Chains A and B, each alone.
Chain A
Amino acid sequence: MNLLIECKKIKRTGLFPTFFIGGILAGLFPLLDMTFRAERYRKSSQPPIEILFSADWQMMAMLNTLLIIICACFLYYGEYADHAIQKMCSLPIRESRLFLEKFMLMSFLCLFVFVIEGAAFTYCALRWFGGRMDFFPLLTGVFKNFGYCFFLMLPAGLLSLLTASACGNLWTPLGIGVICLCLATMIPVNNPWLSLFPYALPFQMLAGTRAETVIFFVTAGAVECVVILLAELLFLRVRRAFA
């Protein structure tokens, strides 16, 4: 019910079209890559999903992370622009709930993008590696891989929302987010400790990764989510105390 309220709040902000276009752009990336470099990839003996992820995921993850940074900024900018947040705080709801609902909305929008990207990967795998894998195992593989990437995207989403909730000005969280994303792109994906940086986690992929590394990142992602949520709760309490 309240998620519906959050959906209503972003009406006419262009956030839905942004995510749709973002998803299409990210989905086009493997399609174009395969169109022009299919022969090179076909020579590889790796499973199709691994080939596609290795070739395209870094670029797609960057676009996805940029989308969630923009989303977080706009979700809170709408609250701060005309003091709507003050009205919300004078209603019988908790600010922490507002944060969680925004996070849920962001996750749904992100999921929507991942579905488009997953469809693009499935199409590419069928079109260019058709003989190598049956449809259902391929679909399961795509689902698992994108599920893993989606989970590792959550800490970056939460951290972006935390920054946006702390700043009334749109440009501050946007700037912080973009700087963090640029930093994340400089971190080598095979360095597990540096990759724990929330904005670097979305660059990780399941295909071709050892089971213990996967468990390590999933655990780290879950811990980061809890820590960021607790930090937001603490921040809201402190802000209220000093208001």
Chain B
Amino acid sequence: MNMIETQNLSKSYSGFRAVDGISLHIPKGAVYGFLGPNGAGKSTTMKMLLGLIKPTGGSFVIDGKTYPKDRVEILKEVGSLIESPAFYGNLSGRENLEIIRRILGLSKESVTEALELVELTQHRDKPVKKYSLGMKQRLGLAEALVGRPPILLLDEPTNGLDPVGIHEIRTLIKSLPERFGATVIVSSHLLSEIELMADTVGILNHGHLLFEGTLERLKENALTWGYPSDNLEEMFLAMIEADNRQRGGVR
């Protein structure tokens, strides 16, 4: 069963097609890796799923709910971290999460739990403007995780984290389907990063979905298409390069 399905989802900006008719199938309870180089349309797609921007074509269904009819209902089920962490710099980490908790009507424990999950408990009462980049990123994740939403949209969640932080967050994301039964979409431009977390991947380039399926199927297909299959990073780069060539050398 798919938790999220898009049908020919598109977004154009005055002639430029940022997302070009993509049809995603995101299984329930899986970590879905959304992969593509910078400007491929990953963030735009995620923003459309959140209703932050209006699609110019196509449609999508999240947990059986359709956009735009059930927009508010969809947002009740989705936790998100898009592009960069969003917060009130004058407030502490705990106060930021309190605001979200009140809006979502959650228990007070949900804030403590979210802070513990991202290991920010120690810094919970410090104003966010004094947080380091990594701490801000952790807070962004806590904001997405508060109340254990069944769907999580995480746009490059390990940005700004040190290697230890990256490992911790990666482990946390990987554990979310098992711990909370969550469906996670995590975007990155690094296949090496995605392959450590995701069960299924979607590869995007210039707004087009080049591949969707499991990592095993990706490797099988790579052999068929003649791409290097022993190194995933090289395979990804070769796929992107070939697609760019097909589009007339556009990078």
Contact = CB atoms under 8 A, between A and B. Distances in A.
Interface string B153-178: 00000000000000000000000000
Contacts of B80: 90
A82 B86 contact: yes
Contact of B89 (A82, A93, A240): A82
Nearest to A243: B53
A82 B128 contact: yes
A69 B89 CA distance: 22
Contacts of A11: 90-91, 95
Interface in B17-70: 50-54
Interface residues of A, number: 28
B137 to A, nearest CB: 13
B147 to A, nearest CB: 11
B242 interface: no
Interface in A99-120: none
B196 interface: no
Contacts of A241: 54
Contacts of A82: 85-89, 128
A90 B85 CA distance: 12
B90 A87 contact: no
B86 A92 contact: no
A79 B80 CA distance: 17
Interface residues of B, number: 31
Interface in A57-89: 78, 81-89
A223 B86 CA distance: 36
Contact of A89 (B52, B76, B83, B85): B52
Majority-rule SS of B interface residues: mixed
Contacts of B84: 83
Contacts of A81: 89
A12 B91 contact: yes
A186 interface: no
Contacts of A78: 88, 90
A88 B96 CA distance: 11
Contacts of A243: 52-54
Interface string A1-22: 1101100111111000000000
Interface string A229-243: 000000000001101
A10 B91 CA distance: 8
B221 to A, nearest CB: 34
A6 to B, nearest CB: 10
B144 to A, nearest CB: 9
B181 interface: no
B52 A5 contact: no
Interface string A179-216: 00000000000000000000000000000000000000
Nearest to B91: A11
B86 A8 contact: no
Interface in B76-110: 76, 78, 80, 82-91, 95, 98-100, 102-104
B190 interface: no
A1 B53 CA distance: 28
Nearest to A81: B89
Contact of B100 (A4, A89, A91): A91
Given A11-B95, A82-B86, A87 B100 contact: yes
Given A12-B91, A78-B90, 11 more contacts: A5-B102, A11-B95, A12-B127, A82-B128, A83-B83, A84-B86, A84-B87, A87-B143, A89-B50, A240-B53, A241-B54
13 contacts: A1-B102, A78-B90, A81-B89, A82-B85, A82-B89, A83-B86, A84-B86, A87-B100, A89-B51, A90-B52, A90-B75, A91-B104, A240-B53
Interface of B: 50-54, 72-73, 75-76, 78, 80, 82-91, 95, 98-100, 102-104, 127-128, 143
Interface of A: 1-2, 4-5, 8-13, 78, 81-94, 240-241, 243
